[in-house]
């Protein structure tokens, strides 16, 4: 009798193992086919015709720069969230199409995506492979023929992902991508992707510098907070690196024109600084009226709960920005339903429009948060910020289609008042 039970148990176990193997083979095959089609989709867009396209160059120190005496246009994208698996195929293609549409219309000199390019969450995307999303985005940018770079977000290399941040950074630095200006940054500075992209005039003066910073992911030196998935901050040696780079550029400018320092710069990273939360809290507690420190400019706060989801503690980045008087605006993502811009203590904080079609439940049906930010850097080192919703008539382009969405988001905490 016992032998009969053992035989049945073994047979049941073999059947279970066989089913698991079959499912694994089917999922692997589906993912391989899906990734292949996704990469083809990224390569399928026509190169943008731009008679005034600038050419990026590297200086003797290995820094990328552009030379121009005209306006320089930067497109800020964020939170693209390409799953890269068989379960996210439809929304991944929508994300690529949205980006291609806006880039084709705007013809930017540079595209900067501030993190969460990939979102390889197995229960929604069907894969752990974070390389697929990164490669799909890279293929798209190269197909469009525009210069681009990225910063890391917290989802680009999750602890369970196939590839870590170092490996993904090496991928972005590959010579295969001739339009990619990403640099992993100094080895003795925490994070990957701490780098500078400069805009110079014909005299060699740096008129604007794009400072791209890795805002890290989750805290590692606190076991409880790490388990909870609490967000990290920019690290002290990154702040030191930022200071040294600003001073380097100041010195370079002063050699040419003593009046061109401090150099003007714009900062790009994924997770907002804690001062962004401080500023918004001050505005909210003042009945949504400007204060001495805070000036509302535009946009929506659509996140519930804490409104602004920043790192665990304080860092010295904002204080250093105030001290050096170089950075006049910072651009981030992370909170998909926020796209507000405001000024706090003299520096502009600006959420980018997100692209995300599936990281937030039901977000594919919402439209108020999807679009891009266009930053126009002027020859006199000033800049303007214009935000464009993807579903506006501006992007009604021949050859591109857009899905129907609702523009009414019930969870909005605050948005630009409508003048009657």
Map out the domains of the chain as residue ranges: 8-45+54-395
> Can you give the pLDDT at residue 313?
76
Q: Is the pLDDT of residue 420 over 50?
A: no
Strand ranges (DSSP E) for 14-120? Answer: 57-58, 64-67, 72-77, 110-114
- Written in H, E and C, the secondary structure of 273-308 is CHHHHHHHHHHHHCCCCCCCCEEEEECCECCCCCCC
The pLDDT tens digits for 112-150 are 999 999 998 887 887 888 999 999 999 999 999 999 999
What is the number of alpha carbons within 13 Å of residue 145 lying toward its C-beta? 14
> Can you give the pLDDT at residue 55?
96
> Can you give the pLDDT at residue 419?
45
Multiple choice CATH, 8-45+54-395, 3.40.50.300, 3.90.180.10, 3.20.20.150, 3.60.21.10: 3.60.21.10
The pLDDT tens digits for 384-406 are 999 999 999 999 999 999 999 99
> Can you give the pLDDT at residue 409?
74
The pLDDT mean for the chain works out to 90
Closest CA to 115 of 69, 85, 80: 80
> Can you give the pLDDT at residue 24?
61
Residue 328 backbone phi and psi in degrees, to 5: -105, -10
* Cα 113 → chain centroid: 4
pTM of the predicted model as reported, rounded to 2 decimal places: 0.91
> Can you give the pLDDT at residue 87?
82
Q: Is the pLDDT of residue 297 over 70?
A: yes
The pLDDT tens digits for 22-54 are 556 656 666 566 667 787 888 889 899 888 899
């Amino acid at each position: 009798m016992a032998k009969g039970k053992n035989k049945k148990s073994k047979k049941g176990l073999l059947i279970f193992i066989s089913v698991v193997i079959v499912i694994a083979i089917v999922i692997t095959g589906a993912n391989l086919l899906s990734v292949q089609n996704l990469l083809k989709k990224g390569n399928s867009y026509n190169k943008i015709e731009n008679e005034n396209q600038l050419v990026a160059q590297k200086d003797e120190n290995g820094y990328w720069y552009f030379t121009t005496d005209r306006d320089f246009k930067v497109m800020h994208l964020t939170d693209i969230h390409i799953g890269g698996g068989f379960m996210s195929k439809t929304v991944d293609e929508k994300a690529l199409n949205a980006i291609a549409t806006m880039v084709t219309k705007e013809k930017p000199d540079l595209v900067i995506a501030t993190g969460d390019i990939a979102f390889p969450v197995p229960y929604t995307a069907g894969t752990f492979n974070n390389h697929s999303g990164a490669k799909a985005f890279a293929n798209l940018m190269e197909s469009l023929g525009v210069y681009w770079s990225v910063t890391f977000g917290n989802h680009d290399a999750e602890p369970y992902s196939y590839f870590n941040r170092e490996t993904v950074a090496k991928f972005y630095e590959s010579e295969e991508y001739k339009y990619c200006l990403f640099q992993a940054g100094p080895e003795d500075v925490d994070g990957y992707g701490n780098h500078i992209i400069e805009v110079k005039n014909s005299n060699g003066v740096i008129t604007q510098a794009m400072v791209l910073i890795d805002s890290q992911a989750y805290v590692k030196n606190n076991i409880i907070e790490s388990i909870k998935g609490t967000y990290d901050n920019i690290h002290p040696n990154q702040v030191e690196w930022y200071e040294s780079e600003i001073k380097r550029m100041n010195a370079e400018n002063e050699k040419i024109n003593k009046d061109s320092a401090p150099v003007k710069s714009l900062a790009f990273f994924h997770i907002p600084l804690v001062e962004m939360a401080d500023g918004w809290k001050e505005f909210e507690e003042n009945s949504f009226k400007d204060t001495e420190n805070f000036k509302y400019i535009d946009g929506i706060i659509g996140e519930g709960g804490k409104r602004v989801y920043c790192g665990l503690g304080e860092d010295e980045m904002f204080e250093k920005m105030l001290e050096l008087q170089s950075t006049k605006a910072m651009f981030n993502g992370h909170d998909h339903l926020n796209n507000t811009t405001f000024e706090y203590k003299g520096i502009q904080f600006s959420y980018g429009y997100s692209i995300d079609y599936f990281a937030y439940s039901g977000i594919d049906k919402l439209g108020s948060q999807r679009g891009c930010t266009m930053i126009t850097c002027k020859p006199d080192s000033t800049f303007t910020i214009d935000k464009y919703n993807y579903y506006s008539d501006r992007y009604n382009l021949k050859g591109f289609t857009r899905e129907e969405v609702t523009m009414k988001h019930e969870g909005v905490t605050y948005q630009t008042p409508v003048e009657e």
